[in-house]
Chain A
Amino acid sequence: MIQLDRAEAERLVNTYSDLILRLSYTYLKNTQDAEDICQTVFLKLLTSGQVFDNPAHEKAWIIRATANACKDTMRSAFRRRTVALEVVAETPAPTAPENDVLEAVMALPENYREAVYLYYYEGYSVREIASLLGRSESAVNAHLSRGRQKLRMTLGGNEYEQSV
């Protein structure tokens, strides 16, 4: 049995559930599975026996675990297609805001989206993102650079010659 009191459960949910939601949305392009992914990540944390040096260390673990959980969800061939109406009524998923910039970011390939989210929203450096995702810094730089290029095209104004 996992040892967990209400105070710790509230700390985890209040500190990380919105982060997990935003990261899940970044990967999955929907918010339907975010609560399940929160549950998965928190339980994994509680059963891992992991000891963290500091809050930043814990947050990095949460991000990695969320990324893995999202990728597992995407790989699954048995995603739930239908739900009972009463379940839908009780658990409406958060609604992603309508926003041109967000829409443009969400249209990017997955690798670019995750780099953009971690860099621009969470404020991680390229090196930190490389460490979080297990990629080389040059790969992260490439994803950010190409993501910016595509966003410039989508969000920019007229040019005689437009680059994408």
Chain B
Amino acid sequence: MNRAYNDNREYTDAMDGLRFSDEAKARMVQNLLDAASESAPQQEKPHGRKSRLPRVAAVGVAAALVLGIGAGASGVFKSAGEAFSGVFGPTADTEIIDQIGRPVGASDTDNGVTITADAIIGDKYHYAITYSIVKEDGTPFDIDLSKTVGDGVLPMNFAEEDTSLSGYLGGTHGGSYFYDADPNDPSIQYVETREVSDGDVHGRTVKAKFSDLFVYDEDMNRTVIAEGDWSFKFNLDFEDTSINLPTGQTIDLNGMTATIDEITLSPLALRVDYTVDSEVQWDENAQSGKQSEHDSAQMEKYFDDLQIVVNKADGTSLDMSYAGGSIKPQDGKTICQKGDMFSEVIPLEDVVSLTVGGVEIPVQQ
């Protein structure tokens, strides 16, 4: 009964219908001609250097402390002779220290640049891998570290990257970003976060492959700062870093009572399991391929309207209310699970509480 989104005709037809009138286009042409005849060359705005470390970069430093990466912390700076090059080479072992997986010797060097897998952190359904990128000669990359794209994330990317799990047939999805954990050392950090849909990924082999590191400007023009191909393998080993928070709280949810059954919080993700004291009623007469207004309202009532906020020690908060999950009627009640990955690794000591449905739940370390 689910509508297959591959049938995107309605979306494309709707977008086709969104267009300027001929009148508007004629006006734009004239405005453009008028502006062209009057305008002077555009002045570049000076880029001010920020006076303090952007928030996520600060988090990145804290995350680096949690993960123990950065200069001197994990012996990152190996000589070129110790690095693997060319094909993936043998699979590097991963030690687990304080729940963090630390690949041993998982790196490759090409054209004077070494990429190393430094640390792996994860919980039951998610993991993040941090890599460091450094020039062999120890000099910093020629980039302006003050030019971030927001939240301390550097405007960088690989022309190609692939970090597949050998033999894993389940689904994964996630994101990645670059940041500078320590402006005083010449390395740049690259973080990948992944959510796994099913099955255990512990012990599987990560085959990491990267090509050509570039930075991009505000016009998205690329400049390659490290040309090369890097390939290496390592074991994906880590311990579950999630903590369970106090549960049993009751919440008023649109006149119903919801009880929090379980809250799983890790530096990577949050998940809230709760039970509502009435059973969601789906529209049995709903037409195929489209959620009825009734069902949409039921979804809002039992799921969408549950607000979930992560409150951090720096006074900021992260609204997770739009997160996904599942909802299931069962024996007169409705079993719900709602949660999502964070867009960045958040050390748990930076989280002071969660607010779920208006109820504040402290995070005790």
Interface residues of A (CB under 8 A from B): 1-4, 6, 9-10, 12-14, 17-18, 21-22, 25, 31, 34-35, 38-39, 42-44, 46-48, 61, 64-65, 68, 91, 94, 96-97, 99-102, 105, 109, 116-117, 120-121, 130, 132-139, 141-142, 145-146, 148-164
* Cβ-defined contact, A9 with B326, below 8 A: no
A120 touches B8 (CB 8 A): yes
- Additional A-B contacts beyond A130-B157, A157-B2 (9; CB < 8 A): A10-B29, A13-B25, A13-B32, A68-B219, A94-B21, A101-B14, A135-B157, A156-B2, A157-B288
Closest approach, in angstroms, between the C-beta of B215 and any C-beta of chain A? 9
| Other-chain residue from B14, B42, B157, B158 in contact with A99 (beta carbon distance below 8 A) | B14
CA distance A153 to B288 in the complex (A): 13
Instruction: Report the Cα distance A160→B20, complex, angstroms.
Output: 44
B31-83 interface with A by 8 A CB criterion: 31-33, 35-42
Task: From B21, B36, B41, B296, name the one whose CB has the most chain A CB atoms within 10 angstroms.
Answer: B36
Binary flags per residue of B1-23, CB closer than 8 Å to A gives 1, else 0: 11101001011111101111100
Known A-B contacts A4-B36, A97-B14, A155-B289; the reply to A134 vs B2 at CB < 8 A is no
Contact residues in B for A39 (Cβ distance below 8 Å): 28, 31-32, 35
Dominant secondary structure at the B interface: mixed
Across chains A and B, the number of contacting residue pairs, with CB separation under 8 Å, is 201
Q: Which of B106-114, B173-181, B223-231 contacts A (4 or more CB under 8 A)?
A: B173-181
Are the C-beta atoms of B24 and A94 separated by less than 8 Å? yes
B324 touches A164 (CB 8 A): yes
Q: Is B283 among interface residues, defined by CB-CB distance under 8 A?
A: yes
**Is there an interface contact between A138 and B192, defined as CB atoms closer than 8 Å?**
yes
Query: Which residue in chain B gives the minimum CB-CB distance to A120?
Result: B8
Please give the distance in Å from B323's CB to the nearest CB on chain A. Answer: 8
**Beta-carbon contact of B20 and A1 below 8 Å:** no
Instruction: Say if the beta carbon of B218 comes within 8 Å of chain A.
Output: yes
